[in-house]
Amino acid sequence: MIPTPLVDAAFFVFAAGAIVTGYRVFRTDSMVRAAFYLLASFSAVGGILVLLGSEFLGMVLLLMMAGEMLIMAIVMVMYMMNPAGLNPMTMVHQNRVAAVAGLAAFLALAAVGLLGDFPDRPAPQPALATEELGIELLGDSMLVFQTAGVTLLSTMIGAVAIAGRRGRSGSAEDGSIEPALQPDEEDAA
């Protein structure tokens, strides 16, 4: 995107938003809130990607993160036996290790940002960027991405088969049934 003052301003808004909401993930006291702050942080990063001319990746990031964060919130609440996710709880542990790891990662990334040698050429048109991405995904990197894709697809089909109505865990219509004490009893039933 052509760097006009408006684009620059948008960049700083998104960048500040990503940092502040990213920080809030760890300072909030509820899992659902943490998931939503993380989503806000990723959304700001998606905005920066769009500003960089990588529209497809930016939009796909938004698309994926929305679903992902909802699943994450639901699963976290499920595991934590905290049905509403509104009960206050501490979101951090192992503070010292985390602080050291976080600081080290920040310094390493900052060093890459400051000392790295970045190509200085105008970004391609978004449509061309999308095309290049497609050629990359279905060209040189095809084997890697197709392997990952097929693996994920079979995982999905497996998950549906297990969780489905007549799946491994019994009919969904029946609700949860106490498992039998003896394996034979289960077969007989």
Partner 1 sequence: MNVYAPIQIALPAVALTLALGVYLVAVADRVMAGVIAGSGPELRAAMLTPLRGAALAFLQWRRATERPDAGGWALAPALLGGLAAFALALVPLGPGLVVADADTGFVAFSAAIAFVMIAVYLHGWSPNSALPLHGAYRYGAQALSFQIPFLLAMLATALPAESLSIVRIVEAQATLWNVVREPVGLPLYLVVGLGVSFWGPLNMPDATDLAGGTSAEDSGVARLLWGAARASMLVAVAAMGAAGFLGGWFGPFLPGPVWMILKTLALLGLILAAGHLLARIRIELFVLVSWAILIPLALLNVFVSGAFLL
State which of residues 172, 177, 179, 186 lies at the interface with partner 1 (CB under 8 A): 172
Applying CB under 8 A, does 60 fall inside the site for partner 1?
Answer: yes
- Quick check: 82 and 22 in contact, CB under 8 A? no
Applying CB under 8 A, does 84 fall inside the site for partner 1?
Answer: yes
Residue 2 to residue 76: CA distance in whole angstroms: 41
Applying CB under 8 A, does 11 fall inside the site for partner 1?
Answer: no
Cβ 111 to partner 1 shortest distance, Å: 33
Taking CB under 8 A as the binding criterion, the range among 7-15, 54-62, 101-109, 139-147 that sits at the site for partner 1 is 54-62
Applying CB under 8 A, does 76 fall inside the site for partner 1?
Answer: no
Taking CB under 8 A as the binding criterion, the range among 7-15, 19-27, 104-112, 125-133 that sits at the site for partner 1 is 125-133
19 vs 156, beta carbon nearer partner 1: 156
State which of residues 14, 21, 36, 42 lies at the interface with partner 1 (CB under 8 A): 36
**Residues in contact with 177: Cβ distance below 8 Å, sequence separation at least 6, in sequence order:** 170
DSSP assignment, residue 28? Answer: -
Count of residues in contact with partner 1, rule CB under 8 A: 32
82: left (phi > 0), else alpha (psi -120 to 50), else beta? beta
Look up residue 68 and give its two tokens.
């992902």
22 vs 126, beta carbon nearer partner 1: 126
Applying CB under 8 A, does 10 fall inside the site for partner 1?
Answer: no
Residue 42 to residue 35: CA distance in whole angstroms: 11
Helices (H), the chain: 5-27, 31-51, 55-79, 95-115, 126-137, 142-163, 183-188
- Quick check: 1 and 53 in contact, CB under 8 A? yes
Binding site for partner 1 (CB under 8 A): 30, 32-33, 36, 39, 55-56, 59-60, 62-64, 66-67, 69-71, 73-74, 83-86, 125-127, 130, 160, 164-165, 172-173
